[in-house]
Chains A and B, each alone.
Chain A
Amino acid sequence: MTAAPAITDVQAIVEQVWSSFLGEAEPLLPAPVAPGRAFPADDAWSAAVSISGGWDAAVTVELSTPLALSLTTTMLGLTADETAEGPLDADVADAVGELVNMIGGNIKSLMPGPSVLSLPAVAAGRAAHPSGAAEVARFDGVRAGQPVRVAVHVIPQP
């Protein structure tokens, strides 16, 4: 059995990150997607951090593009004027990267350590997982109808 964080803990972390920075006004609600079913948005952003040392894993966050844009606008405190054109891709990458950093760091602290957290890697599009990586925990949620997924993968030791 590979060590994995409890789903409820992953969910608690995601909710805390969410409500701290984005407020309670528009809550993030759990919206389970059946295992094996695709992430429910074509147009998405994704980010990953890896954890290595006492526990080796990758934490990924995927979110629909509208959600990534509203996250960026809120975190950067952009005004209506500044967002007329929509935030720059570099800004979205930065905000989504910070999101996965916060979630990943907190997940790391649940597991045996000491481990090191990598800097985030962000991409426009769905997350890619190395072959052989097994998903050990996942949280699917929606905010204002827009999906977000946080997943934890480990590469099983031979």
Chain B
Amino acid sequence: MTISTSSFQLIAALVRRETAMVYDSGKEYLVEARLTPLATAAGCPDVDAYIARISTDLAERRKALDALTINETSWFRDQTPYQAFTETMLPRLIETRAATRRLRIWSAACSSGQEAYSIAMLLDQHLPPGWTADILATDVSTAMLERVRAGRYSQVEMNRGLPATTLVKYFTRAGTEWEVSPELRRMVRVQHLNLADAYAFTAIGTYDVVLLRNVLIYFDQATKYDILRRMRPHVAPDGYLLLGSSETTLDMPADVAGLWSREQLGRVQAHRPVAAVPVASPTPIGA
């Protein structure tokens, strides 16, 4: 079974329109591998027939989009950002937020929730008594959001980066899976959000730490810059934006670069909002 060029272009355009993710030619095998099981389940003879069908069948289209978004994730992914969170960001925020005793964290492409729950575990361990934390987990994939809500992970997922002591502390067995504790689940709020949607951030609020990790790499340059531009007001003035380890070196055009400064925290780089400065004042003050 091989996918035709026209089907591939059709599905690539659909994925791009709905999620901004770019499927370049050469990725035909990926589309095929991910859609073949769905095609079989839907009773289509091949992937081409299935792609034809999703132009009209919206339920099936949702499933195809979910299958085509790359959801690879793990607990405490790359470790260093989480180390920097506990060792640097959290102590600083605890000082500056003493009046409200409240922290707001946003996992902005949360996949199945490991990122949001990893943060929840660290907050559970390091947040002083009397403090509260609100963790918002958003993703474009509704299937992934369902998974975050369920808070259940397979054995194979549990093995990926979760220290054994943390596993026994925060999870219980539920059949073949493990379920995250109700306390952690209460800290995490789930919401559908398409990062590429120009108006998606309007009502989202401001966060002390935003994790926007391993998702910009799937977008084209213009979309990446646009997201980084729109993200700026949603990171608190003394807050942090964390990108994926391969995304921090991103070259940005001057107008975007001017919005963010980079700060080295241990072994990771965080992006921090640059205080708004008037661009070029026409006449010097007092002249």
Contact = CB atoms under 8 A, between A and B. Distances in A.
Do A and B interact with each other, yes or no?
yes
Interface of A: 6, 9, 12-13, 16, 20, 24, 106, 109-110
Interface majority SS (helix, strand, loop, mixed), chain A: helix
A9 B175 contact: yes
A110 B156 contact: no
Contacts of B156: 16, 20
Interface majority SS (helix, strand, loop, mixed), chain B: mixed
B154 A110 contact: no
Contacts of B155: 16, 106
Interface in B151-179: 154-156, 173, 175-176
A6 B177 CA distance: 13
Contacts of B176: 9, 12-13, 16, 106, 110
Interface of B: 33, 154-156, 173, 175-176
A16 B153 CA distance: 12
A16 B154 contact: yes
B158 to A, nearest CB: 11
A16 B156 CA distance: 7
Nearest to B36: A27
A108 B155 CA distance: 14
B178 to A, nearest CB: 11
Nearest to B37: A27
18 contacts: A6-B175, A9-B175, A9-B176, A12-B154, A12-B175, A12-B176, A13-B176, A16-B154, A16-B155, A16-B156, A16-B176, A20-B156, A24-B33, A106-B155, A106-B176, A109-B173, A110-B175, A110-B176
A20 B154 CA distance: 12
Nearest to A20: B156
